[in-house]
Amino acid sequence: MQETINLWPLMGIATIVVGFLLRFNPVLVVIVAGLVTGLAAHMPFVLILEKLGEGFMNTRNLPFILLIPLAVIGLLERHGLKERAQAWIAHIRSATAGRLLIVYLFVREATAALGLTSLGGHPQMVRPLLAPMAEGAAEKHYGDLPGAVRYRLRAMSAATDNVGLFFGEDIFVAFGAIIFMHNFMLESGGIQTEPLHIALWGIPTALCAFAIHATRLWRLDKHLERELGKVNAASRTGGVQ
């Protein structure tokens, strides 16, 4: 006789989705989702509170780990980190925003493939260094940038970090997702695999991701040249008249 599976605890996922869509406080949304999941699973209310408290105690030091690097980055920015990064990239004649991001994409993907996932990231690399350098490279060629172009460069800088990390870490054999896939295929389907083979099959995907995103970055340079070049030409013509 087949055992019935209780799917009501999945309401916790729906609670998180709805809460984030309505932009409620994330902490409140997670707590309510935990209560909904526990009640749907017929857990005693006291046990639900015990599990929530246990999870809080196990991760109570995590905010300090996150806040210390942010404080350091904030001090560096206050003392001119962005300005120095922009001035440095301006001295490289051949540097463009697209070329800079392509180089970073290669470095980020290569280091993530070696397990060095903490060398980049949005708060410690993209915001204080990569995005300002991309803006500085564009300003060197086209002068002052419109707001829409600045936001586009910042978005592409963040996307470059995401692509490099996501597809690079899939090559690292000790990455948690690879171990998860190995255990899942073994336990659920009885498929015998080796984590090394799974990691090796991540290489073609990583190469394709690099080629596709590098093409997007190359097109970004062409887009900037086409749009901002026209603006600069029109301004020079107007100044001559």
**Structure letter (DSSP) for residue 144:** S
pLDDT at 1: 46
Q: How far apart are CA 154 and CA 132, in angstroms?
A: 8
In a domain, 131, yes or no: yes
> How many alpha carbons lie under 13 Å from residue 5 in its C-beta half-sphere?
2
Q: What is the mean pLDDT of residues 199-226?
A: 92
> How many alpha carbons lie under 13 Å from residue 116 in its C-beta half-sphere?
8
Clarify whether residues 104 and 12 are in a common domain.
no
> How many structural domains comprise the chain?
2
Clarify whether residues 23 and 101 are in a common domain.
no
Asked if residues 98 and 218 have their Cβ atoms less than 8 Å apart, the reply is yes
In a domain, 1, yes or no: no
Clarify whether residues 119 and 13 are in a common domain.
no
Name the 3-class secondary structure at 198: helix
Domain residue limits at 136: 64-240
In a domain, 193, yes or no: yes
Clarify whether residues 54 and 98 are in a common domain.
no
Clarify whether residues 32 and 89 are in a common domain.
no
Clarify whether residues 170 and 235 are in a common domain.
yes
Residue among 214, 209, 199 at smallest CA distance from 115:
199
Residue among 95, 98, 108 at smallest CA distance from 216:
98
Clarify whether residues 86 and 152 are in a common domain.
yes
pLDDT at 155: 94
Clarify whether residues 107 and 30 are in a common domain.
no
In a domain, 144, yes or no: yes
pLDDT in tens, 108-165: 999 999 888 888 888 888 988 899 999 989 988 888 889 899 999 999 999 999 999 9
Burial environment of residue 191 by CB neighbours within 10 A (0 to 12, 13 to 18, 19 or more): exposed
pLDDT at 219: 95
In a domain, 211, yes or no: yes
In a domain, 207, yes or no: yes
Q: How far apart are the first and last CA of the chain?
A: 89
Clarify whether residues 142 and 214 are in a common domain.
yes
Burial environment of residue 180 by CB neighbours within 10 A (0 to 12, 13 to 18, 19 or more): exposed
The pair phi, psi for residue 165, each rounded to 5°, is: -70, -45
pLDDT in tens, 176-210: 777 777 777 776 667 777 878 888 888 999 999 99
Give the Cβ contact number of residue 161 at 10 Å: 22
Clarify whether residues 51 and 90 are in a common domain.
no
Mapping DSSP onto H, E and C, the string for 148-166 reads HHHHHHHHHHHHHHHHHHH
Clarify whether residues 229 and 120 are in a common domain.
yes
Last residue of a domain, one of 58, 83, 98: 58
In a domain, 78, yes or no: yes
Clarify whether residues 34 and 147 are in a common domain.
no
In a domain, 189, yes or no: yes
Asked if residues 134 and 150 have their Cβ atoms less than 8 Å apart, the reply is no
Q: How far apart are CA 232 and CA 235, in angstroms?
A: 5
